[in-house]
Structure 1
């Protein structure tokens, strides 16, 4: 893909298995960034992804903390219920999500896309937090209560900072999923192309009779690089989070 992004369309079609381009075509990236509106799509992807990651981390951490540390009636039933949602296909949940976003008056807006992306049970992350919090010493809560901390202050100032590996794991995985998301941004930006993300923006290279293959390859490279960089930088925390929760 990266080599193809440096070729002309003619060379891309006729080069066969030859990887290296005869002449490097950096203008493919300029065409994708400006003419293909990838500068706008990139900004939309950053805003949607970062906000969605923050919302998911907060909601899943609170839910996991309640399930892992608070003994309330029906806790096991609740865990079974949210785990069962993993078997519901995404296509079935998009209808009620669309209706809710429409009733809130957020169709064709960035907040609407963000709410749609951050909705859902996020069962994997909740279970990771629940397992991690359940294995922390109870003395931590008792000490914070003696210092006058309530439930939420204990969570925010004591428990959440201790769960940095799980936070990093959640951030990385949700970042990748949201950044590469196609179905939800397509549905909620169909009437407003200026709200498209990078994944949906690939359509701009497909014409009625032709396809700009080299421009699409350049756009795909722009889209993939941030994910690779994020994972390389934070992979140590990702591995610590997974191993820590499994060990617990």
Structure 2
């Protein structure tokens, strides 16, 4: 019979091995970003013999990754603000109000989750063109807002549905309006789910490739990082050093964000699932 301590040690060793296997591509990417192309194919291991930051300098300036970085920040921050506010308001109504057709609305919202992104790109691009923002960062930002919006509405609806009714009733007795009740009472209580939505939308907007690629085809100056990294892939040659440096630059902010907000992220998901 295996003791509990021995079982924990075995499980820890297995999980550590899985973690090393999972994190190896990330370590290889960071390692390759500190080598030139010749050293990358020399198979010298993860630790560079002659580390260099030339790839980062070339990627930031010559490949315009610096400009793409700020484009991505603009698109991400704008989409996070729009999606968080709009999805929380819609989730509040669906989670706290009973009205005719509510189940139908839920069903239609859930159905859109199964629609592939490729089928919506042409209508989205056509809409942006008609609005006159098809070749601007505003267009990229608005297009990015729709990717995970439905999931966030369902998360907010599930979270708001489990908040006690007494809080809303007390606000009504004090003469607080519907909108103020949402903004000053309900929304602050949903901090874990708000952080969850911020993290998930940030990851989606920061890493989205297909939609920004289509929108920015006519105007390369508004490319985001994911599209800019792809530009290192030529027809006959791939600049692995520059690509790995640009990839490291693009992935570092979201890793730092998740490390700081992971506790709220997990709490928000747990609360929404429970609701």
Q: Same fold (TM over 0.5)?
A: yes
Find the aligned partners of 1:207 and 1:132 in 2 and give their Cα distance: 47
Q: How does 1:38-187 map to 2 (within 5 A)?
A: 38-119=65-146, 122-187=149-214
What's 2:12 paired with?
Answer: none
List, as ranges, runs of 4+ consecutive aligned residues in structure 1 with deviation greater than 4 Å.
Answer: none
Find the aligned partners of 1:92 and 1:245 in 2 and give their Cα distance: 29
What's 2:11 paired with?
Answer: none
Whether the 8 Å CA contact 1:82–1:121 is kept in 2: the answer is no
Find the aligned partners of 2:93 and 2:103 in 1 and give their Cα distance: 12
Find the aligned partners of 1:118 and 1:203 in 2 and give their Cα distance: 22
- CA-to-partner distance for each residue in 1:170-216, whole Å, 9 max, x for gaps? 01011001100001111111111110011000133233432211111
Find the aligned partners of 1:237 and 1:109 in 2 and give their Cα distance: 34
Which deviates more, 112-121 or 215-224?
112-121
Q: Which runs of 5+ in 2 are unaligned?
A: 1-28
Find the aligned partners of 1:50 and 1:22 in 2 and give their Cα distance: 39
Find the aligned partners of 2:147 and 2:239 in 1 and give their Cα distance: 36
Whether the 8 Å CA contact 1:85–1:121 is kept in 2: the answer is no
Q: Tell me the CA shift for residue 121 of structure 1.
A: 6.6
What's 1:8 paired with?
Answer: 36
Q: How does 1:207-222 map to 2 (within 5 A)?
A: 207-222=234-249
Whether the 8 Å CA contact 1:63–1:126 is kept in 2: the answer is yes
The answer to whether structure 1 residue 201 and structure 2 residue 209 are counterparts is no
Find the aligned partners of 2:230 and 2:103 in 1 and give their Cα distance: 45
Aligned residues: 247
Flag the structure with more relative contact order, 1 or 2, with Cα contacts below 8 A and sequence separation at least 6: 1
Distance change >3 Å, CA 5–CA 190, structure 1 → 2: same
Q: Tell me the CA shift for residue 11 of structure 1.
A: 1.0
For residue 37 of structure 1, the aligned residue among 50, 59, 64 is 64
Whether the 8 Å CA contact 2:148–2:201 is kept in 1: the answer is no
RMSD over equivalenced CA pairs, Å: 1.2
Q: Which runs of 5+ in 1 are unaligned?
A: none
Whether the 8 Å CA contact 2:82–2:145 is kept in 1: the answer is yes
TM-score, structure 2 normalization: 0.87
Q: Tell me the CA shift for residue 246 of structure 1.
A: 2.1
Whether the 8 Å CA contact 2:137–2:222 is kept in 1: the answer is yes
Whether the 8 Å CA contact 1:41–1:201 is kept in 2: the answer is yes
Find the aligned partners of 1:103 and 1:145 in 2 and give their Cα distance: 43
